[in-house]
Amino acid sequence: MMFNHLRDDFPTLSGEDPAVYLDNACMTLRPQPVIDAIRTYYEQSPGCGGRSVHRYANVVSRRMANCRKNLGELFNAYQTNEIVFTKNATHSLNQVAKGLSWNKGDIVLTTDREHNSNLVPWLQLEEEQGIDHRVVASNDDNTFNMENFEKACAEAGNKLKMVSVSHVGNLDGVATPVKEIAKVAKDHGALVCIDGAQSTPHMKVDVQDLGIDFMAFSIHKMMGPSGMGGLWGRMELLENMRSIQSGGSTVDTSNYDSLKWSPPPAKFEGGLGNYAGILGTDAAVDYLAKLDLDAIHEHEVKLNTKMTSILKDVDGLSIIGPQDAKQRGGICSIILENIDAHDVAILLDEAAGVMVRSGMHCVHSWFNAKGIERGSLRASAYLYNTEDEVKLFAETLVEAVEALG
């Protein structure tokens, strides 16, 4: 109940009998200050930040700089300009994969439970440039297998160029020991990239302490606007990385036969910016920075423990990942043996006003490898969810399984 007082900040949770929103691993709800910031841009200062010099543009430029600074402080970046605005974590991961230089036979390691955004770019490079993408198998409960990873690194030898892993899995909420992974990877001379989409909204993330080189994140999972994400990278790497979107402000100047690239981050931010989204991001980061992220994580675990206690022994369903909810954060992903997950998701919404995710969650590879054709039902909690809400979800699901199973 420690965050109940914040529920009034979210318009969709105000009023009588609001819906129960448990699809936070997809995107979170937005608090009023974020909505106000977006509206203010269009109503009061709809200018081109960093380009024009009139008063509208100057307001936007200052807010953009403030947003970049606040994101850098949130993640403990050495330099503000190590923060690049992107559309989402997918965009960020593609910038890393396709912006670096590769040789045929270069080895990239990922885990076996990656979102498509941290799998498909590497598969594409394997097809097009001949890199060698290898998958590190997890333990049976989806926790990270360090022994398998160390063996894969040893087998790769000096061909190992990149280790790219999810910090927290969107499939199951299981955290990956990134700091330990980075130490091993660095011993083998490899770069380390993490998909922080599921960690940055829920826990403190210090890129220096983790010892990584790149981190992708999605603002729409951090109470910010849709269409906004970010990339943090070490400046010396960003300076030598190719932009996958050129034009506009990505260059300082151009001639008919030559060009001069802008320094990071402008080098990667081609085209007119999503200024309303950036101002909304600034408001979201300001809102998030005032909260205790450790307390948010503790609250989510408490809610997941409640869900798990109701669901763990029910015939016809099984929870993906460790049975201990403490190892799954705020995510409870459930395989239904004899019922279509989409049908149950629709039923939960229509009968109980509970919104969850159903399907493959963009982790098709994991489901396909296990021969699971229907995907799973995923409930994911955030700071504004309550014990009563997760209890309603779990008890309604049990009723549905008993009636339809």
Q: How confident is the model at residue 173 (pLDDT cuts 50, 70, 90)?
A: very high
Residue span(s) of the chain under CATH 3.40.640.10 come to 34-289
Say what the pLDDT of residue 1 is: 55
Residue span(s) of the chain under CATH 3.90.1150.10 come to 4-28+292-404
pLDDT at 376 over 80: yes
Say what the pLDDT of residue 404 is: 87
pLDDT at 80 over 60: yes
Say what the pLDDT of residue 362 is: 98
Confidence (pTM): 0.97
pLDDT per residue as tens digits for the range 93-139 = 999 999 999 999 999 999 999 999 999 999 999 999 999 999 999 99
Determine the Cα–Cα distance for residues 180 and 183; give it in Å rounded to an integer: 5
CATH classification of 34-289, choosing from 1.10.3720.10, 3.10.20.600, 3.40.640.10, 2.40.30.20? 3.40.640.10
Residue 12 neighbours by CB distance under 10 Å: 12
Say what the pLDDT of residue 47 is: 94
pLDDT per residue as tens digits for the range 2-59 = 799 999 999 999 888 899 999 999 999 999 999 999 999 999 999 999 889 999 999 9
Determine contact, residues 40/279, Cβ cutoff 8 Å: yes
| Catalytically annotated residues | 362
Q: What percent of the chain has pLDDT over 70?
A: 100
pLDDT at 255 over 90: yes
**Per-residue DSSP letter, 383:** T
Reduced 3-state DSSP string for 277-308: HHHHHHHHHHHHHCCCHHHHHHHHHHHHHHHH
Average pLDDT of the chain, as a whole number: 97
CATH classification of 4-28+292-404, choosing from 3.30.870.10, 3.30.565.10, 3.40.50.720, 3.90.1150.10? 3.90.1150.10
C-alpha neighbours within 13 Å on the C-beta side of residue 216: 24
Give strand pairing partners of 111: 136
pLDDT at 270 over 80: yes
